[in-house]
Homo-oligomer: A and B are copies of this chain.
Amino acid sequence: MGQQSWIITDVESGVNVEQLELTRREIKRAPASFQVSKQTLRGGLQDGVDLLTVNNGKVSVDILPTRGMSLWQASIDGDRIGWRSPVRGPVHPKFVDLGEPSGLGWLDGFDELMVRCGLESNGAPEFDDKGILVYPLHGRIGNRPAQHVSVHVDDDEGMILVRGVVEETRFHFLKLRLVTELRTRFGETAIHIHDRVENISASPATVQMLYHTNFGLPLLDAGAQLVAPVKAVAPRNDHAAEGISNWCSYSAPEAGFEEQVYFLELLADEDKATRMMLKNAHGTRGVSLQYNTSTLPCFTVWKNTTAGEDGCVTGLEPGTNYPNPRSFEGEQGRVAELEAGGHVDFEFGIAFQQTADEVQGVEQVIQELQGDHVPTVYDAPRSGWNPDEVSG
């Protein structure tokens, strides 16, 4: 059959498909549990959210066109991967007030496995010297609906591709376009994302991107560990500094736990590719991120092992920057600079390890990236990685 395509949304040509359901009827050589389906959720906070589910026969992933092509949830052989947010989403952006003076409205919609933060800014909200909000927490792209969504399946190659276009534009200000492609093969235990951020203005622009990737129970059990090829790691603030000796291991959920954040630089191979993994206490399950450090040089670990009711979760966050206020990061040059009409590409993938052998296999790869390099561990916030008000 070769490649077949289905356009789900295309505002330019006025296309919007209310429902789509592809199975082995349409894709003859697909695995038994293959599925591509699109629906619009109704009722409550999810009213009007488009949900696109892709099951490659092994891994199923829910994509949210209405929320900037975020990944809502995933499962492997039916086991749910991700976390359980106290926010019962997915939440339609109409119920998320990014412009709330606190700058924290973004939190009202936060329940995804992976949500992009950007594109003008991400990180902590920033205020001017009068206290007026300038940049809201984590930016706007995760609450912008896709202007184009399409699915492409190649029966011969056994490849599923989901394409989305999300615009973050404001007249007189930045005009940015995210073109995202998610690929996964039939039966593969991984998904691969290629994102291009285009500056569609005739003037230059600077851009930020952070892949806020989140995992909770049961993977994140007491004793779960991060395995990563570390060049340097530093605590975000004094509270995180207290836990620096255990920065890569997780304790049991604890009510009222105050989040600890660590900023890292990871080692990579000659092609700038790197890999890191979160594995459970017994090393029998893991999830690993693969990404390219040439455009995502920063890596942030967010430890939030509060009670399950409150959202026990860790965030693994490759980015152009650390999630500090936008101006500070800009001063440090931690932005992507785009000329008029220019673009920047980001490579990002998630793979799932389902056995102790697979976990060890990934550990081996990470160990090779580490090689003889001795990680630099800062026991206090690192100058240049932290704005003064945080490190003080």
A residues adjacent to B (C-beta < 8 A): 9-12, 14-16, 18, 41-48, 85-88, 93-95, 97-102, 104-105, 107-108, 110, 128, 130-134, 144-148, 167, 169-173, 175, 200-203, 255-256, 259, 306-311, 340-341
- Return chain B residues, CB-CB under 8 Å to A200: 86, 309
Copies in the complex: 3
Instruction: Say yes or no: A11 contacts B46, CB within 8 Å.
Output: yes
Closest to A40 in B: B42
A172: contacting residue among B12, B93, B107, B147, CB under 8 A: B107
How far apart are A237's CB and chain B's nearest CB, in angstroms?
16
Assembly CA distance A311 to B167 (angstroms):
15
State A12–B110 Cα separation when bound (angstroms). Answer: 17
A255 smallest CB distance to B (angstroms): 4
A86 touches B128 (CB 8 A): no
Q: How far is the CB of A109 from chain B (nearest CB, A)?
A: 9
Nearest Cβ on chain B to A142's Cβ, whole angstroms = 13
User: How distant is the Cα of A14 from the Cα of B100 in the complex, in angstroms?
Assistant: 30
- How many angstroms between the C-alpha atoms of A42 and B17 in the bound complex? 9
A45–B140 Cα gap in the complex (Å)?
13
Contact B16 A145 (CB under 8 A): no
Provide the residues of chain B in CB contact with A310, threshold 8 Å.
175, 201-203
The answer to whether A110 touches B171 (Cβ under 8 A) is yes
In the bound complex, do residue A97 and residue B98 qualify as a contact, i.e. CB atoms below 8 Å apart? yes
Give A15's nearest chain B residue, CB to CB. Answer: B43
Q: Which B-chain residue is minimally distant from A93 (CB atoms)?
A: B95
A203 & B255 in contact (Cβ 8 Å cutoff): yes
> Which B residue sits closest to A12, measured CB to CB?
B88
B9 engages A169 (CB within 8 Å): no
Nearest residue, chain B, Cβ from A255: B202
Query: Do B171 and A86 have beta carbons less than 8 Å apart?
Result: yes
Residue contacts A-B, CB under 8 angstroms, 12 given? A11-B46, A86-B201, A88-B169, A93-B95, A94-B95, A99-B99, A99-B100, A101-B101, A104-B170, A108-B169, A309-B340, A309-B341
Q: Which of A14, A47, A306, A311 counts the most B-chain CB atoms under 10 A from its CB?
A: A47
How far is it, in angstroms, between the C-alpha of A255 and the C-alpha of B130 when the chains are bound? 32
Contacts of A309 in B (CB 8 A): 175, 200-202, 340-341
Q: Are A45 and B255 in touch, CB under 8 angstroms?
A: no
